[in-house]
Amino acid sequence: MTATRSADAVVVGGGVIGAAIAYHLALAGLERVVVCEQSRIASQGATARSGGLLRLHHTTACDTRLTALSLPTFEQWGEVIGGDCGYRRTGFAMLVGEEHVAALRVNTAVAAEAMSYERVEVIDPDQAGTLFPGLDLAGVAAVAYEPSGGYADPAATATSLIAAARRIGVSEAEGTRVVRVLEREGAVTGVETSAGRIEAPLVVLTSGAWGAESAAHLGVEVPVVPRRIGLAQVALPGAGRRGSDNQLPTCIDDTIGSYFRPGGTDRFFFGVQSHPDVDLEQGAAPLTGDEVNAAVAAVSRRVPAVTSAPLVGTRAGYDGYTPDKRPVIGPAGPDGLYLALGFSGGGFKLAPAVAELAAREISEGEAVIGKAGEPLLEPYRPQRFANGNLITPEAPYAHI
Ligand SMILES: Cc1cc2nc3c(=O)[nH]c(=O)nc-3n(C[C@H](O)[C@H](O)[C@H](O)COP(=O)(O)OP(=O)(O)OC[C@H]3O[C@@H](n4cnc5c(N)ncnc54)[C@H](O)[C@@H]3O)c2cc1C
């Protein structure tokens, strides 16, 4: 027979969001926080496969504000969290065509307001070409440039968060699947796991593409569907080296519908559009040659050197997607149940901010208000789908 344990909180899922929330719950004073991960920390879900792009630029002000709270943590990781998240400052460039220049200016102004004008500016393609000679900017009308943008290592980020959490009392239960959330008289009482029961008054579901399936029997329904997304890596000498003829930024290119970044000094990573068939039990199927070739064809319009660059590797993973491609964050169902999942391909950069805000509102019992007076997590509430309050971009592009 398996023993019953007890905790102040159970976090379900050991990706970057679960690791960050566990850390912040412990910082907020919860003494016994347990992270249940069905596999190993940061190995099964999106976090382990993520591109790790860090950028302020978004098309929705609520996303921009959250990112503005997150980025300083990545930049000062050693002092704030301890350890190394693999942050590399490469500069970030958002590329748009003529029809989206006005939107680019709107989104850049929102980003500047959320952080500062030193952080983001609109430059013309010639300036971008001088900064990053590896780019062919044909068809690009304007560029939003963030000198501090770049990338970090998502697996290192999650493991360093878990290490920091462990130092302040959090424990992990790896290889432990939460089968269902337990409830009595309208309040959470714990979880039933593959290794026995854990009693707890607070359960936080950070189960990514697996959504809220462990609470579905309680009537908690969120429209999160798993989607397979991919990344390919080629050898491109100088891609990440300052002053090189191949130097490239971390980039989202709306004109070709792709994103990419350097990796170290001599590698180059780019997004691969992936087929929608998923089987969560099987894990994400490897990218096919056709999928990678299509991505190479698209990205080589912007980075011509990719055409002849040797493929070094590919990876694919599942993330949970919602109808408005924004995460689900907040209380749902019985008292003591909190959701932070469905990050729809963009959760890595948000993790520090989401975790801090979620832990604060859980421990203080009220929503955290931003500097412009807005409750920062309010737009992301689980109830928005039933209420028809989906998040819509204020200044959209063709692809993001
Ligand atoms: C190829 C790719 C590229 C990406 N690029 C970027 C990027 O450049 N920038 C960015 O910001 N984001 C990016 N993302 C998205 C980002 O990585 C995810 O949004 C983020 O990692 C989600 O973290 P998570 O903790 O919510 O989910 P996950 O990392 O998926 O973690 C969820 C965990 O929950 C566990 N779990 C689920 N159910 C249970 C259960 N019942 N019991 C126990 N454990 C359970 C799973 O095993 C898993 O480990 C990318 C994703 C992919 C796949």
pLDDT digits (tens, 9 = 90+) for 173-229: 999 999 999 999 999 999 999 999 999 999 999 999 999 999 999 999 999 999 999
Q: Is 342 in the pocket of ligand 1 (CB under 6 A)?
A: no
User: What are the residue ranges spanned by the domains of the chain?
Assistant: 5-47+155-224+324-387, 89-149+226-319
Q: How confident is the model at residue 373, as a pLDDT? A: 85
pLDDT at 275 over 90: no
CB atoms within 10 A of CB 336: 20
How large is the ipTM? Answer: 0.99
| CATH architecture of the domain covering 5-47+155-224+324-387 | 3-Layer(bba) Sandwich (3.50)
CA 219 to centroid of ligand 1, rounded, Å = 24
Residues of the chain with pLDDT > 90, as a percent, come to 92
Residue 317 Cα: closest atom of ligand 1: 53
CA distances in angstroms from 20 to 9, 336, 369, listed in the order given = 14, 19, 20
Percent of the chain whose pLDDT exceeds 70: 98
Residue 333 backbone class (left: φ over 0; alpha: ψ -120 to 50; beta: rest):
left
> Which of 38, 41, 280, 325 has most ligand 1 atoms within 8 Å of its beta carbon, as the pocket-test mutant?
38
pLDDT-based confidence at 116, cuts 50/70/90? confident
| The pair of three-digit structure tokens given for residue 273, joined into one six-digit string | 């559009």
For the CA of 259, the nearest atom of ligand 1: 8
**Mean pLDDT, range 4-13, rounded to an integer:** 95
Full 3-state SS string of 243-300: CCCCCCCEEEECCCCEEEEEECCCEEEEEECCCCCCCCCCCCCCCCHHHHHHHHHHHC
> What separation in Å is there between the alpha carbon of 48 and the centre of ligand 1?
7
Ligand 1 center to residue 237 CA distance, Å?
Answer: 30
- The CA distance from 181 to 190, in Å, is 6
Does the Cβ of 16 fall within 6 Å of ligand 1?
Answer: yes
pLDDT value, residue 282: 83
Question: Atom 15 in ligand 1: which residue has the minimum CA distance?
Answer: 345
Task: Give the Cα separation of 323 and 224 in Å (integer).
Answer: 8
- Strand order through the sheet with 337-341: 171-174, 33-37, 9-12, 203-205, 337-341, 328-331
Ligand 1 pocket, residue 346 CB under 6 Å: yes
Which pLDDT belongs to residue 2? 59
CB-based contacts of 115-123 (< 8 A; 24+ apart in sequence): 115/56, 115/68, 115/71, 118/147, 119/56, 119/146, 119/147, 119/148, 120/56, 120/57, 120/144, 120/145, 120/146, 121/145
| Cα distances (angstroms) measured from residue 140 to each of 136, 241, 265 | 9, 23, 25
- For the Cβ of 51 lying below 6 angstroms from any atom of ligand 1, the answer is yes
342-390 tens-digit pLDDT: 999 999 999 999 999 999 999 999 989 988 788 999 999 999 999 999 9
Compute the average pLDDT of residues 291-302: 97
The CATH architecture of the domain made up of 89-149+226-319 is 2-Layer Sandwich (3.30)
Instruction: Report which protein residue has its CA nearest ligand 1's atom 52.
Output: 50
Rounded to whole angstroms, how far apart are CA atoms 54 and 343? 15
pLDDT of residue 1: 44
pLDDT band at 3 (very low <50, low <70, confident <90, very high): low
Q: Which residue has the higher pLDDT, 382 or 281?
A: 382
- The residue nearest atom 30 of ligand 1, judged by CA position, is 45
Q: What DSSP string describes 362-378?
A: HHHSSPPB-TTS-BTTG
Q: How far apart are CA 361 and CA 377, in angstroms?
A: 9
Cβ of residue 19 lying under 6 Å from some atom of ligand 1: no
Does any ligand 1 atom lie closer than 6 A to the CB of residue 49? Answer: yes
> Best substitution site from 11, 16, 50 to test ligand 1's pocket, by max atoms within 8 Å of Cβ?
50
